[in-house]
Amino acid sequence: MAGEHEAVTPATADMVRIGSSAALRDDGILPARAEGVDIVVLRHGASLRAFQGHCPHRGTLLAEGAISNGVLTCRGHGWRFDCGTGANVDQPGICLKRFECAVEGDDVLVDRTQVLAWKRQTDDCGGVQSTTPARPLEQLPGPAGLPWLGNLLQLHHSRMHSELEQWCAAFGPIYRINLARLPAIVVADGEWIDRILHDRPETFRRARAVEALTREVGDVSVFAAEGETWRRHRRPVAQALDARHLRDFFPTLAGVTRRLKRRWEQAAADGLPVHVQQDLKRYAVDVTASLAFGHDTNTLEGEGGPVQQHLERILPMFDRRLNALFPYWHYVRLPADRAYDKAVQALRKFIGEMIVAARERLAQAPDLAAHPRNFLEAMVAAQAADDAPLSDEELIADSVTMLLAGEDTTANTISWILYFMCIHPDVQRRMQEEAAEVLGTTDVLADIHEASRLVYLDAVVHESLRLKPVAPLLHLESNRDVEIAGFVVPRGTLVLLLTRPNVLRDNSFAAALEFRPERWLESSAAAHHRSGFVPFGSGPRLCPGRSLALLEAKAALS
């Protein structure tokens, strides 16, 4: 079988198995890992190639990309690589590291010696290092605090990111705070934000408090998992949200969008006010539940429904606990905490019922196993084939995460865009003209391929995300002793990333405080430097729901 592929390997090479060739179809992509190194294996026609697993731009996992006409496109920022050579087709001089590989029987093998050499090279060139002696973290400036308490009493959970942003003006883009006797480093510098996110999950992880909170909801999910557990969760979740699945799902998205349009048109005809953000939350829930479970919750026409009610109790409390400076709920349960617990259990019960329903559908129609229509069907089919990446408890955890992550963030983004449209009528007019040209006589965006023609709308979305990011504060933690900006950050130190201050500086974006969608158009002369612009995160843990969120925004706004 090895002779069928262009994957010639010296007979004396030290080869190691990295996967099964059965997982590689034509134009197939196989994520793999050897000696702690991520690898992407590509099949295009008769050619089989193995390359470094991370995009050299921002470190996005290349296995989550797509192949078309012999070119692999990274899903992060669209960098394109030739499947045969690994060369960047748009930027000569940039090329992926290639490893010799072969197929023996059903096994895909890669040269272990080459992988280890590449690992040593990348370790030596790691992002968090300095050529000058590093100073202890205690020497990094920061706001004065109280004895024993540090800066605890100066921070409020609902305003934490704003208070941290204010200190940037006094202490610069990188400074230290103390939470009781625990030091933390605050990073608002764009280049350092990029480097830190690039070095996840090996060098930095989510703060352990985040993992503890998700375990209170149930099993650990893709959002909070680390190491090999994260890798096991990441692939099926990313596949459920990849380009092929979104293309198949788009008619359902169009149907939910049509439902939202009817609701708002009826309210306008009746002269009734519209609770825009509430309706957009219901819109996002209906979309996410349909994609994940194949279940139409129809919270838009059902005036919310149980799923929406559970999420309304869970999201605010989860956010409150995430930014809480003391886990009081471990010792006393307030009424809001008891309501939160009940909502979590009810939502878990609902998703458990969806898993049972998916299992019954597959039993009645075995052909569905080869062509699952949603995330749960794909995972249940894998369980039946004894190839299950996730247990039922893990499925519930990831499904809860998809609902939580997909509701508030998408609704808030679209709400802010509507606000900017109202105070910038010229922007609104240009959006209307573009939508009329693209949609023609159709009532909503009905063809996913037409979404790419909404160029100005895409610029409006990005400009809104720049000024009003959905995640202005990211809670991370160092996995080992590292250097950041010349200071030693010990293992286990809390690393807080502020994503907004850098993109509001004029040396990053011209007239940075102004709403100017034109700056995102290629023909625009408005200079901008995208370092640190990470509305969906960056690096290997780029938000897997990014493409869905952008599609929802385009569908709703057009």
Cβ-based neighbours of 41, under 8 Å, separated by 6 or more: 18, 19, 24, 29, 30, 31, 32, 48, 49, 50, 101, 108, 110
pLDDT at 315: 85
186-224 pLDDT, tens per residue? 999 999 999 999 999 899 999 988 888 888 887 788 888
Domain 135-221+470-512+528-539's class?
A: alpha beta
Percent of the chain with pLDDT over 90: 55
Please compute the mean of the pLDDT values over residues 542-550 and round it to a whole number: 92
pLDDT digits (tens, 9 = 90+) for 336-361: 999 999 999 999 999 999 999 999 99
Residue 3 predicted with pLDDT over 80: no
- Per-residue confidence (pLDDT) for residue 8, from 0 to 100: 47
* For residue 419, pLDDT beyond 50: yes
State whether CATH 2.102.10.10 applies to domain 2-117.
Answer: yes
CB 256 within 8 A of CB 434: no
pLDDT score of 223: 87
- Whole-number pLDDT of residue 381: 83
Instruction: Work out the end-to-end distance of the chain between its first and last CA atoms, rounded to an integer number of angstroms.
Output: 50
H or E element that contains 104: strand 101-104
State the Cα–Cα distance between residues 505 and 530, nearest whole angstrom.
11
Residue 11 has pLDDT above 80, yes or no: no
pLDDT at 388: 62
- Model confidence over 151-196: pLDDT tens digits? 988 988 778 889 999 999 899 999 999 998 889 999 999 999 999 9
The residues that bridge with 182 in the sheet, in sequence order, are 179
Judge whether 95 is annotated as a binding position: no
The tens digit of pLDDT for each residue in 460-495 reads 999 999 999 999 999 999 999 999 999 999 999 999
**What residues pair up with 103 in beta bridges, in sequence order?**
108
With a CB cutoff of 8 Å and minimum separation 6, the contacts of 305 are 297, 298, 299
Does the structure show a pLDDT above 60 at 131? Answer: no
Cα–Cα distance between 378 and 432 in angstroms, integer? Answer: 39
- Rounded to whole angstroms, the Cα distance separating 52 from 50 reads 7
What are the two backbone dihedrals, phi and then psi, of residue 165, each rounded to the nearest 5 degrees? Answer: -65, -40
pLDDT at 117: 92
- The tokens for 174 are 């990188």
Average the pLDDT over each of 6-15, 46-55, 204-213 and give the range with the smallest value.
6-15
> If you average pLDDT over residues 15-34, what whole number do you get?
84
| Residue 437 in this model has a pLDDT that exceeds 90 | yes
- Domain ranges in the chain with CATH number 3.30.43.20: 135-221+470-512+528-539
List where CATH 2.102.10.10 sits in the chain: 2-117
pLDDT (average), residues 365-372? 83
Which of 47-61, 112-126, 396-410 ranks highest by mean pLDDT?
47-61
Predicted confidence (pLDDT) at residue 9 exceeds the cutoff of 60:
no
Task: Kindly state the percentage of the chain with pLDDT values over 70.
Answer: 93
The residue with greater pLDDT, 265 or 308, is 265
- Determine which of 17-31, 262-276, 425-439, 535-549 has the lowest per-residue pLDDT on average: 17-31
**Sheet of 487-489, strands arranged across:** 135-136, 487-489, 482-484
CA angle 337, 408, 508 (to 5 degrees): 125
96: closest CA among 107, 104, 88?
Answer: 88
Q: What is the mean pLDDT of residues 540-552?
A: 93
pLDDT of res. 407: 83
- Map 454-513 to HEC letters: CHHHHHHHHHHHHHCCCCCEEEEEECCCEEECCEEECCCCEEEEECCHHHHCCCCECCCC
For residues 531-554, give the mean pLDDT.
92
Q: Tally Cβ neighbours within 10 Å of residue 22.
A: 9
Contact 175, 188 (CB under 8 A): no
What confidence score (pLDDT) does residue 448 get? 93
What is the pairing mode between strands 487-489 and 135-136?
parallel
With 60 as the cut, is the pLDDT of residue 129 above it? no
Phi, psi of 389 (to 5 degrees): -75, -25
Any alpha helices (H) in 294-387, and if so which ranges? 305-322, 335-364, 375-384
Per-residue pLDDT tens for 82-125?
999 999 999 989 999 999 998 888 889 999 999 999 998 887 66
Beta-carbon contacts of residue 223 (< 8 Å; ≥ 6 apart):
206, 210, 214, 401, 405
CA 351 to chain centre: 22
pLDDT given for residue 331 in this prediction: 93
